């Protein structure tokens, strides 16, 4: 799992996992990647191949108006509560 930006520097990984803020992963599998937006912008500016790949992804983006879904607000509020995320059985 990658955590980016200033937020990544401030978060206590183990506590965030314990309260369900992050998925149940081993803390050693969490990597802080710093300013990934700046890194990504630089990569796109310097690589024609990466710009072409991004343009292909952009063509598949579908905008979804979540607020028009009847149960969106309830699901959103429920999702704002921190509950430990169960580990998968797999």
At 53, list the tokens.
Answer: 């790949």
For residue 85, the model assigns a pLDDT of 67
For residue 87, the model assigns a pLDDT of 65
Number of C-beta neighbours around residue 13 at 10 A:
19
Alpha carbons 66 and 36: distance in angstroms, whole number? 27
Domain-by-domain residue ranges, the chain? 2-79
Whole-structure pTM value:
0.56
For residue 78, the model assigns a pLDDT of 83
- Taking only the tens place, the pLDDT of each residue in 1-55 is 999 988 888 999 999 988 888 888 999 999 998 888 898 899 999 999 999 999 9
For residue 76, the model assigns a pLDDT of 86
For residue 9, the model assigns a pLDDT of 87
| Strand 31-32 with 2-3, pairing | parallel
């Amino acid at each position: 799992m990658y955590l980016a930006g200033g937020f990544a520097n401030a978060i206590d990984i183990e506590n965030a996992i314990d309260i369900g803020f992050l998925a149940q992963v081993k803390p050693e599998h969490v990597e802080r990647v710093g300013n990934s937006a700046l890194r990504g912008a630089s990569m796109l500016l310097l690589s024609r191949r990466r710009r072409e790949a991004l343009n292909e992804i952009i063509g598949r983006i579908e905008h979804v108006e979540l607020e028009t879904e009847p149960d969106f607000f309830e699901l959103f509020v429920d999702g704002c509560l921190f509950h430990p995320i169960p580990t998968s059985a797999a």
